[in-house]
Amino acid sequence: MKFSDFEDCHSCDKKEFCSRSSGLVYLNSGKYTGSDKHTCDVAGIVKDMYLSEKS
Ligand code: SF4
């Protein structure tokens, strides 16, 4: 399995801030290589906090 198999994630601009768990994503979405709204929302919040502290 390669990172490119995770189609939602490999080009995501929040991946550096994401603590994605394939098990949690599978439970929430039924797709092992997908993403789920909660995980993406948390990554977005972490990214926003990082950028606001940096500016
Ligand atoms: S789970 Fe969501 S926020 Fe995390 S890398 Fe994948 S698409 Fe991006």
Domains: count for the chain = 1
42 lines ligand 1 (CB under 6 A): no
Q: Is the pLDDT of residue 48 over 90?
A: yes
pLDDT at residue 24, rounded to an integer: 92
Spell out the residues 6+ positions from residue 25 whose beta carbon is closer than 8 angstroms to its own: 31, 32, 34, 35, 36, 39
34 lines ligand 1 (CB under 6 A): no
Q: Which residues of 12-49 are buried (b: 16+ CB within 10 A; e: fewer)?
A: bebeebbebeeeebeeebeeebbbbeebbeebeeebee
pLDDT at residue 53, rounded to an integer: 96
pLDDT at residue 11, rounded to an integer: 94
53 lines ligand 1 (CB under 6 A): no
- For 6-43, how does the pLDDT look when each residue is reduced to its tens digit (9 = 90+)? 999 999 999 999 999 999 999 998 999 999 999 999 99
pLDDT at residue 23, rounded to an integer: 94
The residue range of the domain holding 41 is: 3-54
Band of residue 55 on the pLDDT scale cut at 50, 70, 90: confident
Q: Which atom of ligand 1 is nearest to the CA of 35?
A: 1
